[in-house]
Amino acid sequence: MIAFAGTLMEQIGRGKNNNLFEYFNAGMAITVPDTKEPMPPHYHSIVGQKLLYVDWIKMFGLEVQCPRCPTGTLLNDRTNFSKNKILFPIFDLDGPPAWAMVQSMVCRCCRIRLHANTDEVICQLPAYARTCYPVESKYALPNKNSHVGRIATQSFDLLMPTYGNGDLCSRLLYNAINRSYLERTENYYACHKAQSSKAQSSQSIEPHVAKDGTFVVTYPLLGDNIRDTYDQACSNKNNPWFLSDHERHAREIQSVGATLVFAQDHTHEVTKNYFQKKRMGANALWDVATETGEIACAVLVPSTQTRHFSHAARQLANRKNFTPTVMYSDTWPAKTGYWESLFGNRDPELQLQGRLGLFHYIQRITKTMKKKHCDHYLAVNSLLKAIYRYNEDDYEKLLCALKNGTLSTTKYSEDEIIDLKNTKVFRQRYGKYLRKEIRPPMAIKTDVG
């Protein structure tokens, strides 16, 4: 690719006029062309790769403002290729990296030097020019030896918040390069074999280029580096709207309100994704969910004690759009006085009523029962039937699906469904399809008694 870039710049320099757009006719990139004839292995190894010429002034005629001083503009100095004969790699999920000749720009006022592919420069460009560089502005971090392409980072934005698996993201980048090398090697030898059979000659084939050191000279980021890059990108304000993802997500959560019901609880599974959580003191996460399924608050706490989430709870109660009338908690009626004092300054019609969640209500009863007793399951099943019933529409659709075999390849008869209902497998397997409706209080007392 360095040889290709050198030949290209010689051709551009030989032209009487500026013939830059004859080669870079697709935004700022040129693709190494393919030929129908057998190619030397070095040329065959770069067919389809892209070379970018990152120069906003020459390619788009833009006047780039200096991000450090309000009156200065950036002027071109020289590229990394013209000075040091090096190219800047951009890794993505579609094969080998793209390579960029990046212009170094200097402000005419403050004399600061910036590269044309950094976040401070890219974020202020118009969309038609900014999208030609295949890297999101928040990931175009300065002082980096490489960038990660837009397709890859869009996938990372989905994987990292939930799983935090930087090693998997790194393997995806490595796998894209390795897979491309295998395909190129196979195509190279297959093409020469076909040409040799047509010519009916047994000419020696020059070996394809080696993978490490020739086809691959720069390697993608490792898992720890990807995690660090993702954290920096989430806190980076250099994007078209000048608001980092971290601040945007925080404001979205802070704008969630509730008018009917909210549930508060502690969860420990979330903290498993945190790096060095013991040093951070993150033992659990206190979260609040509303009737719409949105999360209204989520804070890391060192323990499940009320004093550790009290500040967040008070800030939640101060929201003007947060006026629920019912609160579900797994510890109710513990800390009843605290919650009454927190919401006690409201209108009497909006006084908060505490409720124990259905799951925890059942658990408080079943935990006192002997599991090894011969009638344990019958007692639990009778208790559940007395407390709640399934929604009729959901229950009817489930029975039809079991008979038709739409949920699985097995079609159940009526007798088999009756036997299945008498086992805990029915609740574990099909409970997620059924909405539960709590029965009236007097009916529960009568059936349980």
Q: What are phi and psi of 355, to 5 degrees?
A: -140, 150
Q: Could you give the residue ranges of the DSSP H alpha helices within 45-100? A: 56-60, 80-84
Residue segments in the chain with a per-residue pLDDT below the cut of 50: 16-17
For residue 17, the model assigns a pLDDT of 47
For residue 200, the model assigns a pLDDT of 54
Residue-range domain boundaries for the chain: 1-243, 255-356, 370-448
Tokens describing residue 356: 């124990």
User: Which residues contact residue 215 at a Cβ distance below 8 angstroms, ignoring those fewer than 6 apart?
Assistant: 45, 96, 181, 184, 209
Kindly report, residue by residue over 306-343, the tens digit of the pLDDT.
Answer: 999 999 999 998 888 888 888 888 888 888 888 888 87
For residue 344, the model assigns a pLDDT of 65
**DSSP string for residues in 368-419:** TS-TTSTTHHHHHHHHHHHHEEE-HHHHHHHHHHHHHTSSSSPPP-HHHHHH
For residue 377, the model assigns a pLDDT of 81
For residue 198, the model assigns a pLDDT of 63
| Alpha-carbon span 409 to 437, nearest angstrom | 30
| Alpha-carbon span 153 to 135, nearest angstrom | 8
Q: Name the CATH topology of 255-356.
A: Nucleotidyltransferase; domain 5 (3.30.420)
For residue 362, the model assigns a pLDDT of 87
Per the CB < 8 A criterion, the answer to whether 223 and 184 are in contact is no
